[in-house]
Amino acid sequence: MVRFELNGAPVAPEIEDDAPLLAALRGPLGLSGPRFGCGAEQCGACVVLLDGAPAFACALPVSAAAGKRVETVEGLGTPEAPHPLQRAFLDLQAGQCGYCLSGILMASAALLRRDPCPTDRQVREALDPHLCRCGAHNRIVQAVLRAAASMAPA
């Protein structure tokens, strides 16, 4: 049984070691934030952070997360205490169907930790592995930039 840290809490999901991490997160661990889009690392809907770096949970075996920190959008913030990214996405209404947002939020969070003041271009490049089929791209980029601005020290 693989043990890892999920959103700050130790977990040991009852699932085979070679099952996809996404199956563990959405199955025994009961999350709904990481989403299945393609199962082929092509759309980014399943992206979670593995030790702080974006990873495609759909094709990653659970065993790859052993002993590591896994973060999902559920761990980012709550309606009562939203992460600046989540607040910015809601303020700018950055999303249409929203199916892609979990992965995009996690990739953006990783970007802002790495580079607190990214440029428009850097945001676009960081989000390049993610597909948004509705066309909310520009608004999403603006939301990430706004979140970065709101997190910057005064």
Partner 1 sequence: MNLAFKGPPDDGRPKLPGSLHVNRRLDRWLTLHADGTVTIRPGKVELGQGILTALAQIAADELDVALAKLRVQPAATPDSPDEAVTSGSLSVQESGMALRHACADARRICLSVVAQRTGVSPDDIAVQDGDFLAPDGRVLGSYGGLADAGLLAVEASPDALPKPAAARRIAGQSVARLDLPDKVFGAPRYLHDLRLPGMLHARVVRPPSRGAVLRDLRDGALPGDAAVLRDGTFVAILATQEHHAEAAAERVARRASWDEANTLPDDGALEAWLRRAPRDSSVVAENAAETPAPAHRVSAAFLRPFLAHGAIGPSCAVARWDGATMEIWSHSQGIFNLRADLAKALRLPAAQIVVRHVEGSGCYGHNGADDVALDAALVARAHPHRPIRLLWTRAEELGWSPVSPAMLVEIEAEADAGGTLLAWRQDVTSNGHSGRPGRGKDPTLLSASMIAEAFPVPLSINPPIAGGGGAQRNAVPPYRVPTLRVGLHSLTEMPIRASALRGLGALANVCGTSTMRARATCWPMRRGWPAGTAARSATATASGWRCRGTRAPAPGAPRSPRSRRPSASSAAASGLRPMWARRSTPTASATRSRAARSRRRPCACSKRCATTRARSPPMPGNATRSCAFRTCRRLRWTSWRGRRRRRSAPASAASARPSARSPTPSRMRSAFGCATGPSRPTPSRRCSDAHIGQHAVRPHAADP
Tell me which residues touch partner 1 (CB under 8 A). Answer: 15-16, 19-20, 23, 26-27, 30-40, 42-43, 45, 72-74, 76-79, 82, 86, 89-93, 95-102, 105, 121, 124-125, 127-135, 137-139, 141
Q: What's phi and psi for 4, nearest 5 deg?
A: -150, 180
In the complex with partner 1, which residue's Cβ is closer, 38 or 69?
38
The DSSP bridge partners found for residue 9 are 6
Asked if 76 and 106 count as a contact pair (C-beta separation under 8 A), the reply is: yes
Q: For residue 29, what are its two tokens?
A: 């661990």
10 vs 135 by CB, closer to partner 1: 135
Distance in Å, CB of 148 to partner 1, minimum: 16
Least separation in angstroms between CB 117 and partner 1 = 19
How many angstroms separate the Cα of 131 from the Cα of each of 58, 103, 153? 15, 10, 31
